[in-house]
Chain A
Amino acid sequence: GAVVSQHPSWVICKSGTSVKIECRSLDFQATTMFWYRQFPKQSLMLMATSNEGSKATYEQGVEKDKFLINHASLTLSTLTVTSAHPEDSSFYICSALVMNTEAFFGQGTRLTVV
């Protein structure tokens, strides 16, 4: 299947700082990528849909100014958690759409804000 790579796999940052997470489609072009968040022992929750060359579409309740999404190329989407706080600590996962049908997921990024 298609390969989606996330970087970093884990990150620890201080409260108040910003963290950028990258999501790359390695062997295909993805016009649409999705960002999810997963808290311990819970399911994945969709945060936003990232569209190449246009603004991201955020799910209800997700602050667009706090979770900045940039999809500047067909192979890269980034999620920046701005002014991170401990409650932002979570597992962040991206997925990329292949041929507008299949969704493949990255390995996830474990964010810990201290």
Chain B
Amino acid sequence: DAKTTQPTSMDCAEGRAANLPCNHSTISGNEYVYWYRQIHSQGPQYIIHGLKNNETNEMASLIITEDRKSSTLILPHATLRDTAVYYCIVRSLGETSGSRLTFGEGTQLTVNP
């Protein structure tokens, strides 16, 4: 799986948009970009994923650059409950080996009141 790099930590004011960047310059054509988050002492929670088009769901939006070498997860209106470690992962689908998620260090997002 391609390696990703994320900032160690970020702060965001409650109610504002949180934009979390991720670099994945060695991503290959069949690899998807996945985002998970982990609230303290809980298992990771799936947020969103995409291949090359921008994606949006009820939790967040995912913006992938045209060259696919980086992406940004957007939480449009951050709340205190969004404080968590956010992991950006690239992986291929379809084969079991591609589902072995390799977690980097992630970004600790702190939403402040």
List residues of A whose CB falls within 8 A of some B CB.
Answer: 1, 4, 6, 32, 34, 36, 43-46, 49, 51, 91, 93, 95, 97, 100-108, 110
Q: What is B's interface to A at a CB cutoff of 8 Å?
A: 36, 38, 41-46, 87, 93-96, 99-106
From the candidates B42, B96, B102, name the one contacting A46 in the complex (CB within 8 A). Answer: B102
Contact between chains at A101 and B41 (CB < 8 Å)? no
Q: Is the CB of A108 within 8 A of B42?
A: yes
Residues of A within 8 A of B95 (CB): 100
In the complex the two chains form, what is the Cα distance from A113 to B56 in whole Å? 43
Contact (A100, B96) CB under 8 Å given A43-B103, A46-B102, A110-B41: yes
Query: Are B44 and A93 in contact, CB atoms less than 8 angstroms apart?
Result: yes
CB distance from B22 to the nearest CB of A (A): 14
Chain B facing A: main interface SS: loop
Query: Is the Cβ of B44 less than 8 Å from the Cβ of A102?
Result: no
The majority secondary structure among interface residues of chain A is strand
Chain A residues lying within 8 Å of B38, measured Cβ to Cβ, are: 44
Query: With contacts A6-B43, A102-B46, A107-B43 known, is A43 near B94, CB below 8 A?
Result: no
- What residue of chain B has the Cβ atom nearest to residue A34's Cβ? B100
Known contacts A100-B93, A101-B93, A91 near B41 by CB under 8 Å: yes
When C-beta atoms are compared, the residue in chain B nearest to A106 turns out to be B43
**Cα-based distance from A43 to B43 in the complex (angstroms):** 11
Chain A residues in 8 Å Cβ range of B46:
1, 102-105
* Closest chain B CB from A60 CB (angstroms): 13
User: Once bound together, how far apart are the Cα atoms of A22 and B57, in whole Å?
Assistant: 31
Chain A residues, Cβ within 8 Å of B45: 105
| CB–CB B44/A105 < 8 A | yes
Query: Is A95 a contact of B101 with CB atoms below 8 Å?
Result: yes
CB-based contact A103/B99 at 8 Å = yes
Q: Smallest Cβ distance from B112 to chain A, in angstroms? A: 21
CA distance A105 to B39 in the complex (A): 12
A110 smallest CB distance to B (angstroms): 7
